[in-house]
Chains A and B, each alone.
Chain A
Amino acid sequence: MVAPPPRSTSGAMESAAARGARPAPGADVEPKVRIQGLSYWYDGRQSLNGVTLDIPDRAITVLFGPAGGGKTTLMRLVNRLNDLVDRTKVTGRILLDGEDIYAPGVDVTQLRRRVGMVFALPLPLPGTVRDNVLYGPSLAGVRGRERLSEILERSLTQAALWAEVKDRLDTPALSLSGGQQQRLCIARSLSLEPEVLLLDEPTSGLDPISTAKVEESLFELKSQYSIVIVPHSVQQAARVADVAAFFLGGELVEYGDGPQVFTAPRDKKTEDYVTGRFG
């Protein structure tokens, strides 16, 4: 099922393999997102350096590593949220279904509907539970009471929150607990039926039970979506990863299928991090 990395006598090729310039593990189909030679500068400081990475469809890809490694930056480039920031520079390419998302003429709002994002802190918008979940669809012009309540129930169910909030859909979103708020934010992203779901430490502020619930819903969701997650711990990374990518100082150090990266890392730095020697 998993193709072994191509053996090569050339040292340069070997390092390219370690950087992930090979087909995604477990992917005999076209990868959902291809990141090619991506570098990024903010205010003259480089925070991503030549990252090449394939993100498979219908699987959980984990981006992990110590803080400042470029994981969040990478995510914010995949749905072009970084467009909102001034004084940045991007080189390299990101392909979604083979199409360059930074090509001129790309509709950014449409792209962000296809590539949803959940942030590290639960950030409910002002308004009720219902307002939050239906915010995206109504901006997209979805109308009709029946249509909207369908979306509401489906999204909240997928985020494992429906049972808890179905009787208080019209209470303020801020009256929910922290864990519920974070699942609400996941539901909010799912309301648009994105093809790719980016989650940036979605459980960092949550208790173990809420964390388990979020992880459970991720396992459900990966049958339909391409999921990319920055986990909040190595343990979580190992638990959820189908594919794992280790980032250090803006560079992709190692990339492979989950069990391999966490049990038999090829790179010394990955091993040190996974076994808890630093980070």
Chain B
Amino acid sequence: MRRMLLQRLGFVLLGLVTLVVVVPILLVVGVIVARGISAINWQFLSTMPYNGMKQGGILPAIIGTLLLTLGTALVAVPIGVGGAVYLSEYARDTRLTRAIRLAIVNLAGIPSIVYGLFGLGMFVLFFRFGTSILAGSLTLAIMTLPVIISTSEEALRAVPTEFRTVSASLGGTRWQGIRTIVLPQALPGIITGVILGLLRAAGETAPILFTVAAFYLPRLPRSPLDQSMALPYHLYVISTQVPGMPLSVQYGTALVLLGLVLSLNIVASLIRRYFRSKRQW
């Protein structure tokens, strides 16, 4: 009897803890939707800002964020997945590879503003890319790499060793085994890691602060070496730097950013579910 009571108490406590986690999320989303939805209309999403950003839309910021995410993906996905394949499939357990792994874990813990300053020094100044989409994408890519590498490596290691052995026993080279069996099996996990990393990149402000973001640039970027507005930075600017900004525009911008991130998240889980259903073990 006592044990049953204790168990029930345990369940109630765990339930409360779960609630504590969920409530803030619901509140954040709820408040932003409630206050921002009135600002959302086609014009808001598809036109340039004018009158000191107090009027018009946020199109350049949306496009800028999409371009930055795309650029980040182009750089970070091949390097990150390639690095993960190397670490999980080829690298032997030496002092060097252990040092590399340690470095990756530590990179994931570096504050994003430090990446921003690094990007400024490395890409903007040293490589003379200027404040540009290229410099911003590279900076975001470097910030995203640790996430992509460690989740991809995890996914690759989860594929049973036996598959590799069987492939080798049938005359497959190591790469043939990876290409035909290991990578396809690890794909759902890799995609999840990639998208989580990219979502973080899409929402970051600090790394783009000095490397790409334009305060007020009411036109679309013309080349990778052009500056651009971006949603997180734009949100920061209109919330703190522009006096007399209508509240609905601020919440509307937040809602667009949130919607973008959430919809990418949903796409990610759909892709994951699709590949899971095709997997047979």
A-side residues, CB < 8 A to B, are: 79, 81, 84, 86, 109-110, 112-113, 116-117, 119, 121, 123, 125-127, 135-136, 139-140, 172-174, 188-189, 192
Contact = CB atoms under 8 A, between A and B. Distances in A.
Contacts of A116: 169-170
Interface string B10-22: 0000000000000
B128 interface: no
Nearest to B161: A84
Contact of B171 (A126, A139, A172): A139
Contacts of A123: 162-163, 165-166
Interface string B165-200: 111111111001000110011000000000000000
B170 A174 contact: no
Given A123-B162, A125-B166, A136-B170, 8 more contacts: A81-B169, A109-B172, A116-B170, A119-B162, A119-B169, A136-B172, A174-B281, A192-B170
Contacts of B171: 109-110, 112-113, 136, 139-140, 192
B240 interface: no
A113 to B, nearest CB: 4
B166 A119 contact: yes
A116 B173 CA distance: 15
Interface residues of B, number: 22
B8 interface: no
Given A84-B164, A84-B165, A126 B184 contact: yes
Contacts of A140: 171
Interface of B: 92-93, 162-173, 176, 180-181, 184-185, 279-281
A212 B84 CA distance: 45
Nearest to B172: A139
Contacts of B181: 125-126
17 contacts: A84-B165, A112-B170, A113-B170, A117-B169, A119-B162, A119-B165, A119-B166, A125-B167, A125-B181, A126-B163, A127-B280, A136-B170, A139-B171, A139-B180, A189-B170, A192-B170, A192-B171
A116 B164 CA distance: 15
A147 to B, nearest CB: 17
Contacts of B169: 79, 81, 112, 116-117, 119, 189
Contact of A139 (B93, B163, B170): B170
Contacts of A188: 170
Contacts of B164: 84
A119 B167 CA distance: 12
Contact of A84 (B168, B180, B279): B168
Given A113-B171, A126-B280, A188-B170, A81 B165 contact: yes
A188 B172 CA distance: 13
Given A126-B185, A172-B280, A174-B281, A139 B162 contact: no
Nearest to A114: B171
B281 A126 contact: yes
B168 A81 contact: yes
A123 B167 CA distance: 11
Nearest to A126: B280
B32 to A, nearest CB: 43
A39 B92 CA distance: 24
A139 B280 CA distance: 21
A140 B167 CA distance: 12
B163 to A, nearest CB: 6
A81 B280 CA distance: 25
B173 to A, nearest CB: 6
B207 to A, nearest CB: 39
Contacts of A86: 92-93
Give the one of A84, A86, A125, A192 with max B CB within 10 A: A125
B187 to A, nearest CB: 11
B123 to A, nearest CB: 39
Contacts of A84: 164-165, 168
A79 B162 CA distance: 16
B162 A109 contact: no
Contacts of A125: 163, 166-167, 181
Contacts of B93: 86
Top 7 nearest A-B pairs (CB, nearest first) are A136-B170, A113-B171, A117-B169, A109-B171, A112-B171, A139-B172, A123-B162
Nearest to B177: A139
Contacts of A192: 170-171
Contacts of B173: 109
Give the one of B168, B173, B279 with max A CB within 10 A: B168
